[in-house]
Amino acid sequence: MSAQQYRLVEHLADMIIPGDDTPGAKQAGVAEFIDFMLANRVAVSGGRDIRSTADGIEAGNDAQVRFLSGLNWINVRSHSEFGKAFMDCSAEQQNGMLQELAYKDKFKPNTESGRAFFQMIRDYTVVGYYTTRIGLESIGYPGLRELWPSMPGCSHPDDPEHLELPKPAM
């Protein structure tokens, strides 16, 4: 990936998983992860049956090609919509473009390859983020501890159907 492409990936990943009360994709180093996985030809999605090294490499090569052409698609699209590169668009313009790729009710005709790319970078971003300490802490993954003195189990023994749980915070 060129430096320019890398910055675009870093930006897109942080749009997909932004910082809020916990750090986002940029701080979790997701762009570096994506760069590493693509360079080593590791596909994280696509549902291919990997039965041999050749299958894996083929899937990884395909991911590489589709990812890079997807980045290109994003800039071609931003040029045709707004007359400039994606990174030069306003936050609102960028958000609008991604919305058209991410939400069914906002899909535009003839954007299939852009949508496929969005799913792909979303897969890489989610995998890259939720396999870091930052990502796992953001959802409160309890398995970061090496041992528990006992299996705590359910803490609502009086409510087996769990119909009277406290109202969630979010």
Nearest to 100 by CA among 88, 115, 113: 115
Q: Which is nearer to another protein, 83 or 92 (CB)?
A: 92
DSSP annotation of 85 reads -
Q: Give the DSSP H/E element, type plus range, for residue 126.
A: helix 112-129
Output the CA torsion 92→94→98→100 (10° steps): 60
Q: Which is nearer to another protein, 75 or 98 (CB)?
A: 98
Q: Which is nearer to another protein, 3 or 139 (CB)?
A: 139
| Residues forming the site for another protein (CB under 8 A) | 15-18, 20, 24, 33, 37, 40-42, 44, 50-54, 56-57, 60, 95, 98-99, 102-104, 122, 126-128, 130-133, 136, 138-156, 160-163, 165, 168-170
Q: How far is the CB of 75 from another protein (least distance, A)?
A: 18
Q: How far is the CB of 82 from another protein (least distance, A)?
A: 19
- How far, in Å, CA of 118 to CA of 107, rounded? 12
Q: How far is the CB of 4 from another protein (least distance, A)?
A: 22
- How far, in Å, CA of 135 to CA of 28, rounded? 7
